[in-house]
Structure 1
Amino acid sequence: MSLFPPEDYARFRAEGHWADITLPQMVAASVARVPDRLALVDAPNRETLFEGAPKRLTYAQMEAEVARYAAHLQAQGLGQGALVATQLPNIAETLLLYLAISRIGAVLSPVSMAYRAAELADLTRVAGFDAFISIGHFKGQPFDPERLSALPASVLRLGIGSGLPDGMASLDGPAPAPLASVTVDADAPFAVFWTSGTEGVPKAVPKTHNNLMASSLGAWRLLDLPDGANILAPFPFVNAAAVGGLMMCWMRTAGALFLHHPFDLQVFLHQLKTEDIAYTMVAPTLLTYLRDQADDPGLRAALHRLIALGTGSAPPDPEVFVFFEQHFAIPVVNFFGSNEGAQMCSAASRVPDPRERARFFPRDGDEGWDATSRTANGGTFRLVDPASGAAVTEPGGLGEMQLRGPAMMPGYYSRLGYDRTKFTPDGYFPSGDLFQISDCGGLIRFHARARELIVRGGMKIAPVELDNTLSALPGVREVAVAAYPDPRMGEKVCLFAVMHPGRSLTLAEVSDFCDRVGLAKFKWPERLEFLPALPRTPLAKLDRKALAKRLAESQKTGEIHA
């Protein structure tokens, strides 16, 4: 079975990006090879999130639990092609259920714990879930029964743990019947992920087993993780980045996956200090915190144990990359990706200068530059001028990235099938991401989301560029800019700042800083707002739309707000 155009199927098979290995087969191989090796570890604060003591499962113990859950799911009538939504925190049972769903040939659809009845109703209208799995309580609060009422009566309600609401069948207890063997196709969907929904109802993004294999292979190679390397995962397993970049890397190393989330700084630091962690991926703000606290003896020892550090989702500070390379010999890897299938990896092997690595990605995969090269996940791209449609190939050029590759989704999913209308006639997916070619010609940098550009008096401003520059303001923990309406200029720039305790900032100081760094005056923020934290989507991405909405609704333009 193939959900892709025949030419893509033939190409990616011929190039070795796709094969016949499925995720259940990968797990089975690890179980057979290292049955007694530690495989899956709960966060130490599990009992405050859910119930029961933290689990530490070997591969053999994990396999037994996966088989038990798979048998329960089959007993509920679920099997090949069934779409199973899960709304679960990062506990051991979550990964066990993911693998069990895959084992029976069903399709996983993870949903953020932040979503409530309205979002669940939207998602099920799009995708048509066959089953929904959740828990009876979380962080001391009972399950919200309105979430179940948002689901059609045809959706099976399943749960784990105590306190399940009426109508939700338990998946706990011994297997009700022997597990029936199922043949799973590597070209069949493994999961349907969801976009962040910042532009409306989230879109359903299906990924096959082969998609995820391709997505993880490049990152795993660039990170150079050895067999048995342990991974600490501080992000929820609800999108392709977390599943492809953390869960799949864990499956390739056959080490232990240490779970974490919701994010708790002290718990995260405890895990780093007390467990043998080889790799973790953190947001840029946490990367900065780790640098600032690196003199702590316990943390310093933990950082020396790390083989690799990853970051992404926001502009990182280049000097932090320099610090970790100089003091701990850790070349931090910068990632850029999307659920749909984009993956840029800036690793030391391709971008040796740590300052450049924080801002740029190798131009690998650009068909207008080197037709033989590939992106980290085996794909290719082209940069296209959004206005003219002309190819962008020269240094300094700016264009929208259009992608194709073995990690690319087959099309947006709905209960009606797979929609490829967003693809170009020759098979490329327009990402909406604007990238600029470096002056040297061998690197590219993310410029902006096309829809996020701020237009002030006809001059276009890239928010990410300003985020990068203004993150160096003294006293700020994190910053982001957004547009606010202006009757004369159309739009102007507002700076949102999250300050370190005891620090302050004025708009005049922001202007002085912009002047010192030589920023064009039309880009200078003309309004300053303070927030305790920047708004994030359920997938932990900056929600710039929420910032713009806050500004559009405010009538106090030009004032400073505490």
Structure 2
Amino acid sequence: MTLLLPALQSPTGPAASREAARFGDLSLTYGDLAVASTALAARIADAGRVAVWATPTPETVIAVVAALRAGVPVVPLNPRTGESELAHILADSAPTAVLAGPDDELPPGLERLRQVTVDARTAAPSGAPDDIGEAGPEDPALIVYTSGTTGPPKGAVLPRRAVAASLDALEDAWGWTGDDVLVHALPLFHVHGLILGVLGPLRRGGSVRHLGKFSPDGVARELGSGGTMLFGVPTMYHRLAEALDGWAGDAERDSLTRALSGARLLVSGSAALPVHDHERIAAATGRRVIERYGMTETLMNTGIRADGAPRPGTVGPPLAGVELRLAEEDGTVLDEPGAIGEIQVRGPNLFTGYLNRPDATAAAHTTDGWFRTGDVGTVDPDGYVTIVGRKATDLIKSGGYKIGAGEIENVLLAHPGVREVAVTGEEDPDLGERVVAWVVATDPDSPPPAEELTDRVAAHLAPHKRPRTVRYLDALPRNDLGKIMKRSLRA
């Protein structure tokens, strides 16, 4: 198997002086990271499985890279995880050690594990061996826990094969090279922030600059000083669009505009980016944000190509090596134009299964080997995929129609009086489900009338898609990735 992180094989090789990762004023070259990770790999080689207290710091990068180089599976832990969820993850994954920074305060439950301190400011011992054997392609690289929206979180076992396949497919789609400098501020305990955002640049021999905490001025600073790519979630791009609008005429706005205009790629993922924000950013910068579609169990499935046509509202065609189809609830494969069905995928990007859950693994796959994503979408004649939403929360069956929440949300977001919106279905004795819009008004003291909003949807889409109920909120509930938690609204 090709080495997962080839640029780190030698601390004195030709790439040693190149910057690998930067967090604030602390920069790690490939030589620094090779030596530090090799020394740490030797300390944990017999650990069996390790947990990493995944703070947005260089210590997390060193810890994860060391474990991968030692062939030891990594369980990234969200530092904001609650006590009961953390206890479940530890009991289920059974790590023998936890890797954390010198200043990290670990919660109860981790004290029984061997504590391994990782300090990015402390030089690794000289003379550490630089010859580390690679594990096999099917050996687990990471065990990443799902959000647990339908029960206790499940550990998705991601083999090295899946990590390499997804990152190489993105290299093909985006022309990703060692010259790229990626800017992001995503958490490092999930696929988007850790695998794409950290391992992606390292596999290419490029660089990642992590902001620590997202801010428009941080994005402007790093993209304006050599950054070529930006990875973010819709909440971040919404805030960038707001900054471009709100800083009109200011030096800060001009700096942000120049930085975004000069980026090679602006990529959004983890949830759908509203068309309204697509258009605002494009109007201000002349650059289009592109989207891709993936999930914990599959890594990356589709993506707009760098040399392809940007199409707001879609997530592009399947990536190299990925097969994708739509299916009805009874398993019927859908291939007619405009069909709406569950997205199912297969390919080298898939996980090997849920840890300790053969029942859940079997239930997540069809009898002919396709993974059931639980997402609903459509496929254009040219292969571009549009995500309608999650089957459980975003597909509304009302009056005999299948209605996708996303298209209604995009229409409402284009109303100047709507700052944020979420659309859900609610049980209705006549319709089966009725459409409900949860609205955060631009001016809370003067929200747009409900009738005005429902009429807008009926005029732009179709009368049966109009919300039957409009509810006003001060804010929408969101998780750590900025995704709207629709189950909380429905509850």
Same-fold call, TM > 0.5? Answer: yes
SS at match of 2:479: coil
- Stretch of structure 1 that moved more, 535-544 or 323-332: 323-332
Match of 1:390 in 2: 332
Matched, 1:256 2:198: no
Deviation at 1:442, TM superposition (A): 4.1
Q: Distance in 2 between matches of 1:126 and 1:117?
A: 14
SS at match of 1:524: coil
Q: Is the 8 A contact 2:11 2:35 kept in 1?
A: no
Match of 1:111 in 2: 77
Letter in 1 for 2:326: L
SS at match of 1:191: strand
Match of 1:368 in 2: none
Structure 1's 68 and 429: CA in aligned 2 closer, same or farther, altered over 3 A?
same
Letter in 1 for 2:90: T
Q: CA offsets per residue over residues 284-321 of structure 1, 9 Å max, x none?
A: 34334434544522213312331110012333244654
Deviation at 1:495, TM superposition (A): 2.2
**Number of equivalent positions:** 480
Deviation at 1:241, TM superposition (A): 2.9
Equivalent residue runs for 1:127-166 within 5 Å:
127-135=93-101, 143=105, 145-148=107-110, 153=112, 155-160=113-118
Letter in 2 for 1:346: I
Percent of aligned pairs with the same amino acid: 23
SS at match of 1:386: coil
Q: Distance in 1 between matches of 2:238 and 2:482?
A: 17
Q: Is the 8 A contact 2:75 2:93 kept in 1?
A: no
Equivalent residue runs for 1:250-399 within 5 Å:
250-273=201-224, 275-291=225-241, 293-294=243-244, 296-318=253-275, 320-321=277-278, 328=285, 330-341=287-298, 342-347=300-305, 349-350=307-308, 352=309, 354=310, 357-362=311-316, 364=317, 375-387=318-330, 389-399=331-341
Letter in 2 for 1:120: L
Match of 1:60 in 2: 31
Match of 2:471 in 1: 528
- Stretch of structure 1 that moved more, 258-267 or 184-193: 258-267
Q: Distance in 2 between matches of 1:176 and 1:116?
A: 40
Q: Distance in 1 between matches of 2:367 and 2:235?
A: 41
Deviation at 1:512, TM superposition (A): 3.2
Q: CA offsets per residue over residues 192-213 of structure 1, 9 Å max, x none?
A: 1111211111111111222111
Q: Distance in 2 between matches of 1:506 and 1:29?
A: 64
Q: Distance in 1 between matches of 2:144 and 2:408?
A: 30
Q: What is the root-mean-square deviation in Å for CA atoms of aligned residues? A: 3.2
Q: Is the 8 A contact 2:182 2:209 kept in 1?
A: yes
User: TM-score, normalised on structure 1?
Assistant: 0.76
Structure 1's 134 and 435: CA in aligned 2 closer, same or farther, altered over 3 A?
same
Structure 1's 83 and 477: CA in aligned 2 closer, same or farther, altered over 3 A?
farther
Matched, 1:89 2:55: yes
Match of 1:34 in 2: 15
Q: Is the 8 A contact 1:285 1:478 kept in 2?
A: no
SS at match of 2:471: strand
Structure 1's 174 and 218: CA in aligned 2 closer, same or farther, altered over 3 A?
closer
Structure 2: which 5+ residue stretches go unaligned? none
Equivalent residue runs for 1:224-263 within 5 Å:
224-263=175-214
Q: Distance in 2 between matches of 1:474 and 1:468?
A: 12
SS at match of 1:495: strand
Letter in 2 for 1:148: L
User: TM-score, normalised on structure 2?
Assistant: 0.87
SS at match of 2:392: helix
Q: Is the 8 A contact 1:280 1:309 kept in 2?
A: yes
Q: Is the 8 A contact 1:195 1:205 kept in 2?
A: yes
Matched, 1:126 2:84: no
Letter in 2 for 1:281: F
Match of 2:455 in 1: 512
1:431 to 373, 386, 394: 373
Deviation at 1:282, TM superposition (A): 2.0
